[in-house]
A = this chain, B = another copy of it.
Amino acid sequence: MTTRLTLSIDAMGGDNAPDMVIDGVEAAAKQNPELRFLLFGDETRLNEMLQSHPAALASSVVRHAPDVIGSGDKPAVALRGGRQSSMRLAINAVGDGEADAVISAGNTGALMAIAKFVLKTLPGIDRPAIATFFPTMRSQSVMLDLGANIECDANNLMQFAVMGEVFARNVLNCEHPSVGILNVGAENLKGNKEVRDAAEMLQQTHLPIHFHGFVEGDDIAKGTVDVIVTDGFTGNIALKTAEGMASMFGFFLRSALTSSIFGKIGALIARPALLKFKAKFDPRLYNGAMFVGLNGICVKSHGGTDGFGFANAIGVAVNLVRNNFNEGIKEDCAQLLEDRDAAILAAGEGDTDNSEAAAG
Protein backbone atom coordinates (compact mmCIF):
# COMPACT_ATOMS: atom_id res chain seq x y z
CA MET A 1 0.00 0.00 0.00
CA THR A 2 1.37 3.41 -0.92
CA THR A 3 0.47 6.55 0.95
CA ARG A 4 -1.30 9.20 -1.02
CA LEU A 5 1.15 12.02 -1.79
CA THR A 6 0.22 15.65 -2.27
CA LEU A 7 2.34 17.70 -4.63
CA SER A 8 2.25 21.46 -4.74
CA ILE A 9 2.67 22.82 -8.26
CA ASP A 10 3.71 26.33 -9.33
CA ALA A 11 1.51 26.23 -12.42
CA MET A 12 2.70 29.60 -13.77
CA GLY A 13 6.50 29.11 -13.77
CA GLY A 14 8.40 28.27 -16.98
CA ASP A 15 8.52 29.44 -20.58
CA ASN A 16 5.36 27.65 -21.69
CA ALA A 17 3.41 27.76 -18.44
CA PRO A 18 0.75 26.93 -17.58
CA ASP A 19 0.27 24.73 -20.70
CA MET A 20 3.31 22.51 -20.30
CA VAL A 21 2.76 22.33 -16.53
CA ILE A 22 -0.78 21.00 -16.96
CA ASP A 23 0.44 18.58 -19.65
CA GLY A 24 3.03 17.36 -17.15
CA VAL A 25 0.49 16.97 -14.37
CA GLU A 26 -1.76 15.05 -16.74
CA ALA A 27 1.07 12.65 -17.65
CA ALA A 28 2.13 12.19 -14.01
CA ALA A 29 -1.47 11.66 -12.86
CA LYS A 30 -2.00 8.99 -15.51
CA GLN A 31 1.17 7.21 -14.42
CA ASN A 32 0.52 7.53 -10.66
CA PRO A 33 -3.22 7.75 -10.07
CA GLU A 34 -2.62 7.98 -6.32
CA LEU A 35 -0.95 11.42 -6.61
CA ARG A 36 -2.86 14.52 -5.59
CA PHE A 37 -1.98 17.97 -6.90
CA LEU A 38 -2.44 21.49 -5.59
CA LEU A 39 -2.18 23.79 -8.60
CA PHE A 40 -1.28 27.40 -7.86
CA GLY A 41 -1.94 30.01 -10.53
CA ASP A 42 -4.58 31.84 -12.53
CA GLU A 43 -7.78 30.09 -11.38
CA THR A 44 -9.85 30.80 -14.47
CA ARG A 45 -7.16 29.73 -16.89
CA LEU A 46 -6.25 26.60 -14.95
CA ASN A 47 -9.86 25.43 -14.53
CA GLU A 48 -10.43 25.95 -18.23
CA MET A 49 -7.32 23.95 -19.14
CA LEU A 50 -8.22 21.10 -16.80
CA GLN A 51 -11.37 20.45 -18.86
CA SER A 52 -9.17 18.94 -21.57
CA HIS A 53 -6.90 17.09 -19.11
CA PRO A 54 -9.13 14.48 -17.43
CA ALA A 55 -6.48 12.74 -15.29
CA ALA A 56 -5.19 16.07 -13.99
CA LEU A 57 -8.75 17.26 -13.38
CA ALA A 58 -9.55 14.17 -11.32
CA SER A 59 -6.53 14.59 -9.04
CA SER A 60 -6.09 18.34 -8.74
CA VAL A 61 -7.33 21.20 -6.63
CA VAL A 62 -6.82 24.69 -8.07
CA ARG A 63 -5.74 27.49 -5.75
CA HIS A 64 -5.84 31.01 -7.08
CA ALA A 65 -2.59 32.99 -7.11
CA PRO A 66 -2.94 36.51 -8.53
CA ASP A 67 0.78 37.14 -9.19
CA VAL A 68 3.57 35.51 -11.19
CA ILE A 69 7.29 35.86 -10.55
CA GLY A 70 9.06 36.76 -13.79
CA SER A 71 12.11 34.94 -15.08
CA GLY A 72 14.16 38.14 -14.80
CA ASP A 73 13.03 39.14 -11.29
CA LYS A 74 15.79 39.41 -8.71
CA PRO A 75 15.52 36.89 -5.86
CA ALA A 76 15.34 39.59 -3.15
CA VAL A 77 12.58 41.42 -5.02
CA ALA A 78 10.67 38.18 -5.60
CA LEU A 79 10.98 37.34 -1.91
CA ARG A 80 9.65 40.70 -0.74
CA GLY A 81 7.14 41.46 -3.46
CA GLY A 82 5.93 38.04 -4.51
CA ARG A 83 3.85 37.06 -1.50
CA GLN A 84 0.79 36.35 -3.63
CA SER A 85 2.69 34.70 -6.46
CA SER A 86 2.03 31.14 -7.64
CA MET A 87 5.59 30.21 -6.64
CA ARG A 88 5.36 31.57 -3.11
CA LEU A 89 1.95 30.08 -2.39
CA ALA A 90 3.07 26.72 -3.78
CA ILE A 91 6.08 26.71 -1.44
CA ASN A 92 3.92 27.83 1.50
CA ALA A 93 1.81 24.70 1.03
CA VAL A 94 4.90 22.60 1.82
CA GLY A 95 5.84 24.86 4.73
CA ASP A 96 2.32 24.51 6.15
CA GLY A 97 2.45 20.73 5.87
CA GLU A 98 -0.34 20.66 3.33
CA ALA A 99 1.85 19.22 0.57
CA ASP A 100 4.77 16.77 0.56
CA ALA A 101 6.81 18.55 -2.09
CA VAL A 102 6.77 21.54 -4.42
CA ILE A 103 7.71 21.59 -8.11
CA SER A 104 8.35 24.77 -10.10
CA ALA A 105 9.79 25.58 -13.52
CA GLY A 106 10.13 29.25 -12.61
CA ASN A 107 13.05 31.59 -11.82
CA THR A 108 15.76 29.49 -10.08
CA GLY A 109 17.19 32.25 -7.90
CA ALA A 110 13.76 33.31 -6.67
CA LEU A 111 12.72 29.72 -6.03
CA MET A 112 15.83 29.10 -3.92
CA ALA A 113 15.47 32.36 -1.99
CA ILE A 114 11.78 31.81 -1.20
CA ALA A 115 12.21 28.09 -0.44
CA LYS A 116 15.06 28.89 1.95
CA PHE A 117 13.01 31.60 3.65
CA VAL A 118 9.82 29.56 3.98
CA LEU A 119 11.16 26.04 4.57
CA LYS A 120 14.46 26.84 6.37
CA THR A 121 17.51 24.60 6.17
CA LEU A 122 17.82 21.22 7.86
CA PRO A 123 19.74 21.10 11.17
CA GLY A 124 23.47 20.75 10.42
CA ILE A 125 23.16 22.23 6.93
CA ASP A 126 24.41 25.79 6.52
CA ARG A 127 23.46 26.22 2.89
CA PRO A 128 21.14 24.29 0.62
CA ALA A 129 22.52 23.14 -2.72
CA ILE A 130 21.17 22.29 -6.15
CA ALA A 131 21.71 18.67 -7.20
CA THR A 132 20.97 16.72 -10.32
CA PHE A 133 21.67 13.27 -11.64
CA PHE A 134 22.92 12.43 -15.11
CA PRO A 135 24.02 9.49 -17.24
CA THR A 136 27.57 8.19 -17.11
CA MET A 137 29.38 5.39 -18.95
CA ARG A 138 28.80 3.23 -15.88
CA SER A 139 25.24 4.13 -14.80
CA GLN A 140 24.11 7.38 -13.14
CA SER A 141 25.72 9.88 -10.80
CA VAL A 142 24.57 12.82 -8.76
CA MET A 143 26.43 16.15 -8.71
CA LEU A 144 26.06 19.11 -6.36
CA ASP A 145 26.17 22.13 -6.03
CA LEU A 146 25.09 23.34 -9.44
CA GLY A 147 24.80 27.03 -8.80
CA ALA A 148 23.14 27.87 -5.50
CA ASN A 149 26.44 28.80 -3.83
CA ILE A 150 29.04 30.61 -5.91
CA GLU A 151 31.64 30.44 -3.17
CA CYS A 152 31.83 27.51 -0.76
CA ASP A 153 34.05 26.72 2.20
CA ALA A 154 35.16 23.25 3.27
CA ASN A 155 32.19 22.86 5.64
CA ASN A 156 29.73 23.56 2.84
CA LEU A 157 31.45 21.02 0.59
CA MET A 158 31.43 18.46 3.41
CA GLN A 159 27.68 18.96 3.87
CA PHE A 160 27.12 18.61 0.12
CA ALA A 161 28.99 15.30 0.31
CA VAL A 162 26.72 14.06 3.08
CA MET A 163 23.56 15.06 1.21
CA GLY A 164 24.80 13.60 -2.07
CA GLU A 165 25.68 10.34 -0.38
CA VAL A 166 22.22 10.03 1.16
CA PHE A 167 20.72 10.80 -2.23
CA ALA A 168 22.76 8.14 -4.02
CA ARG A 169 21.87 5.59 -1.35
CA ASN A 170 18.16 6.35 -1.00
CA VAL A 171 17.19 7.49 -4.47
CA LEU A 172 19.75 6.00 -6.88
CA ASN A 173 19.83 2.78 -4.83
CA CYS A 174 23.62 2.53 -4.64
CA GLU A 175 24.49 0.36 -1.66
CA HIS A 176 27.81 2.02 -0.81
CA PRO A 177 28.03 5.14 -2.94
CA SER A 178 31.48 6.53 -3.59
CA VAL A 179 32.01 10.27 -3.20
CA GLY A 180 34.56 12.41 -5.04
CA ILE A 181 35.45 16.08 -4.88
CA LEU A 182 35.88 17.78 -8.25
CA ASN A 183 39.40 19.12 -8.63
CA VAL A 184 42.14 19.83 -11.17
CA GLY A 185 44.08 16.68 -10.32
CA ALA A 186 43.87 13.55 -8.23
CA GLU A 187 46.88 14.24 -5.99
CA ASN A 188 46.41 15.47 -2.41
CA LEU A 189 48.21 18.74 -2.99
CA LYS A 190 46.12 19.84 -5.97
CA GLY A 191 43.50 22.54 -5.97
CA ASN A 192 42.52 25.33 -3.61
CA LYS A 193 42.37 25.32 0.17
CA GLU A 194 38.61 24.69 0.24
CA VAL A 195 38.74 21.39 -1.64
CA ARG A 196 41.85 20.22 0.22
CA ASP A 197 40.28 20.95 3.62
CA ALA A 198 37.01 19.29 2.62
CA ALA A 199 38.94 16.20 1.52
CA GLU A 200 40.65 16.06 4.90
CA MET A 201 37.29 16.36 6.67
CA LEU A 202 35.86 13.53 4.57
CA GLN A 203 38.85 11.34 5.36
CA GLN A 204 38.41 11.94 9.08
CA THR A 205 34.64 11.85 9.51
CA HIS A 206 32.96 9.17 11.59
CA LEU A 207 30.23 8.90 9.00
CA PRO A 208 30.47 5.69 6.96
CA ILE A 209 31.04 7.60 3.75
CA HIS A 210 33.13 5.94 1.05
CA PHE A 211 35.34 8.87 0.05
CA HIS A 212 37.13 8.15 -3.21
CA GLY A 213 39.25 11.31 -3.17
CA PHE A 214 39.58 13.98 -5.83
CA VAL A 215 38.13 13.45 -9.28
CA GLU A 216 38.71 15.42 -12.49
CA GLY A 217 36.32 16.76 -15.10
CA ASP A 218 36.50 13.66 -17.29
CA ASP A 219 35.53 11.48 -14.32
CA ILE A 220 32.02 12.96 -14.49
CA ALA A 221 31.12 11.15 -17.71
CA LYS A 222 33.24 8.14 -16.82
CA GLY A 223 31.13 7.60 -13.71
CA THR A 224 34.24 7.16 -11.56
CA VAL A 225 32.18 8.03 -8.47
CA ASP A 226 28.47 8.04 -7.61
CA VAL A 227 28.52 11.49 -6.01
CA ILE A 228 30.45 14.50 -7.32
CA VAL A 229 30.90 17.35 -4.88
CA THR A 230 31.80 20.84 -6.05
CA ASP A 231 31.07 24.51 -5.45
CA GLY A 232 28.18 26.11 -7.33
CA PHE A 233 30.40 28.09 -9.70
CA THR A 234 32.40 25.12 -10.95
CA GLY A 235 29.41 22.76 -10.86
CA ASN A 236 27.24 25.06 -12.94
CA ILE A 237 29.96 25.51 -15.55
CA ALA A 238 30.77 21.77 -15.67
CA LEU A 239 27.09 20.85 -16.11
CA LYS A 240 26.48 23.42 -18.83
CA THR A 241 29.73 22.52 -20.59
CA ALA A 242 28.52 18.91 -20.66
CA GLU A 243 25.12 19.98 -22.02
CA GLY A 244 26.82 22.06 -24.70
CA MET A 245 29.02 19.14 -25.70
CA ALA A 246 25.99 16.87 -26.03
CA SER A 247 24.35 19.39 -28.38
CA MET A 248 27.52 19.78 -30.41
CA PHE A 249 27.96 16.06 -30.74
CA GLY A 250 24.37 15.63 -31.94
CA PHE A 251 24.81 18.51 -34.35
CA PHE A 252 27.96 17.10 -35.97
CA LEU A 253 26.59 13.57 -36.05
CA ARG A 254 23.47 14.75 -37.88
CA SER A 255 25.48 16.78 -40.34
CA ALA A 256 27.90 13.89 -40.98
CA LEU A 257 25.02 11.49 -41.64
CA THR A 258 23.11 13.88 -43.89
CA SER A 259 26.07 15.12 -45.93
CA SER A 260 26.34 12.06 -48.19
CA ILE A 261 23.96 9.60 -49.78
CA PHE A 262 25.64 6.64 -48.05
CA GLY A 263 25.40 8.45 -44.73
CA LYS A 264 21.67 8.95 -45.31
CA ILE A 265 21.04 5.34 -46.29
CA GLY A 266 23.11 4.01 -43.40
CA ALA A 267 21.30 6.27 -40.94
CA LEU A 268 17.93 5.09 -42.26
CA ILE A 269 18.84 1.44 -41.71
CA ALA A 270 20.38 2.13 -38.30
CA ARG A 271 17.46 4.39 -37.35
CA PRO A 272 16.17 2.37 -34.37
CA ALA A 273 19.69 2.17 -32.91
CA LEU A 274 20.27 5.89 -33.48
CA LEU A 275 16.93 6.79 -31.89
CA LYS A 276 17.80 4.68 -28.84
CA PHE A 277 21.11 6.51 -28.67
CA LYS A 278 19.40 9.88 -29.00
CA ALA A 279 16.91 9.02 -26.26
CA LYS A 280 19.77 8.31 -23.89
CA PHE A 281 20.77 11.96 -24.06
CA ASP A 282 17.26 13.42 -24.00
CA PRO A 283 17.61 16.22 -21.43
CA ARG A 284 13.95 15.81 -20.47
CA LEU A 285 14.82 12.44 -18.92
CA TYR A 286 17.14 14.20 -16.50
CA ASN A 287 14.83 17.11 -15.82
CA GLY A 288 14.26 17.96 -12.18
CA ALA A 289 17.06 19.56 -10.16
CA MET A 290 16.70 19.01 -6.45
CA PHE A 291 17.13 21.73 -3.87
CA VAL A 292 18.73 19.70 -1.12
CA GLY A 293 19.27 20.69 2.51
CA LEU A 294 15.87 22.31 2.96
CA ASN A 295 13.29 21.30 5.50
CA GLY A 296 10.95 20.28 2.70
CA ILE A 297 11.25 18.79 -0.78
CA CYS A 298 11.61 21.32 -3.59
CA VAL A 299 12.28 20.38 -7.21
CA LYS A 300 13.17 22.80 -9.98
CA SER A 301 12.14 21.89 -13.49
CA HIS A 302 13.95 23.35 -16.49
CA GLY A 303 12.05 26.44 -17.62
CA GLY A 304 12.07 25.44 -21.28
CA THR A 305 10.89 21.86 -20.91
CA ASP A 306 7.62 20.35 -22.12
CA GLY A 307 4.96 18.23 -20.43
CA PHE A 308 7.05 15.07 -20.65
CA GLY A 309 9.97 16.83 -18.96
CA PHE A 310 7.77 18.40 -16.30
CA ALA A 311 6.27 14.99 -15.51
CA ASN A 312 9.82 13.74 -14.97
CA ALA A 313 10.47 16.55 -12.50
CA ILE A 314 7.30 15.50 -10.66
CA GLY A 315 8.69 11.96 -10.63
CA VAL A 316 11.90 13.19 -9.02
CA ALA A 317 9.92 14.86 -6.23
CA VAL A 318 7.87 11.69 -5.68
CA ASN A 319 11.08 9.66 -5.45
CA LEU A 320 12.58 12.00 -2.87
CA VAL A 321 9.45 11.86 -0.70
CA ARG A 322 8.97 8.08 -1.02
CA ASN A 323 12.59 7.37 -0.14
CA ASN A 324 12.60 9.53 2.96
CA PHE A 325 15.42 11.56 1.55
CA ASN A 326 15.28 14.30 4.18
CA GLU A 327 15.13 11.82 7.09
CA GLY A 328 18.34 10.26 5.80
CA ILE A 329 20.06 13.65 5.69
CA LYS A 330 18.87 14.49 9.21
CA GLU A 331 20.39 11.31 10.62
CA ASP A 332 23.73 11.85 8.94
CA CYS A 333 23.78 15.51 9.89
CA ALA A 334 23.37 14.63 13.55
CA GLN A 335 26.65 12.70 13.26
CA LEU A 336 28.20 15.59 11.36
CA LEU A 337 27.31 17.98 14.18
CA GLU A 338 28.77 15.55 16.73
CA ASP A 339 31.98 15.38 14.67
CA ARG A 340 32.15 19.14 14.60
CA ASP A 341 31.57 19.48 18.35
CA ALA A 342 34.30 16.92 18.98
CA ALA A 343 36.67 18.84 16.69
CA ILE A 344 35.91 22.12 18.45
CA LEU A 345 36.48 20.43 21.81
CA ALA A 346 39.75 18.91 20.62
CA ALA A 347 40.90 22.25 19.21
CA GLY A 348 40.03 23.90 22.53
CA GLU A 349 42.20 21.42 24.41
CA GLY A 350 44.97 21.93 21.88
CA ASP A 351 44.73 25.69 22.41
CA THR A 352 45.23 25.32 26.16
CA ASP A 353 48.28 23.12 25.65
CA ASN A 354 49.85 25.56 23.24
CA SER A 355 48.66 28.79 24.78
CA GLU A 356 52.15 30.01 25.61
CA ALA A 357 53.54 29.11 22.23
CA ALA A 358 50.62 30.90 20.55
CA ALA A 359 51.10 33.96 22.72
CA GLY A 360 54.86 33.99 22.04
Contacts and interface: CB of A to CB of B under 8 A. Distances in A.
Nearest to A232: B184
Contacts of A259: 273, 276
A342 interface: no
Number of copies of chain A assembled together: 2
Interface stretch (A9-17, A215-223, A349-357): A215-223
Nearest to A248: B221
Interface in A153-206: 182-184, 191-192
Interface stretch (A35-43, A51-59, A260-268): A260-268
Interface string A243-271: 11111110111001101101101111111
B192 A218 contact: no
A239 B222 CA distance: 14
A237 interface: yes
Contact of A192 (B147, B233, B274, B276): B233
A241 B218 contact: yes
B267 A150 contact: no
Contacts of A277: 252-253, 256-257
A270 B273 contact: no
B221 A247 contact: yes
A312 interface: no
A240 interface: yes
Interface of A: 135-137, 147, 150-151, 182-184, 191-192, 216-222, 230, 232-234, 236-249, 251-253, 256-257, 259-260, 262-263, 265-274, 276-277, 280-281
24 contacts: A137-B251, A137-B252, A184-B232, A192-B233, A216-B236, A216-B237, A217-B236, A217-B241, A217-B242, A217-B243, A219-B244, A222-B247, A237-B238, A238-B241, A253-B253, A253-B277, A256-B276, A259-B276, A262-B271, A263-B270, A263-B273, A266-B267, A266-B271, A266-B274
List the 8 closest A-B pairs by CB distance, nearest first: A266-B270, A217-B240, A263-B273, A218-B244, A221-B244, A266-B269, A256-B277, A217-B241
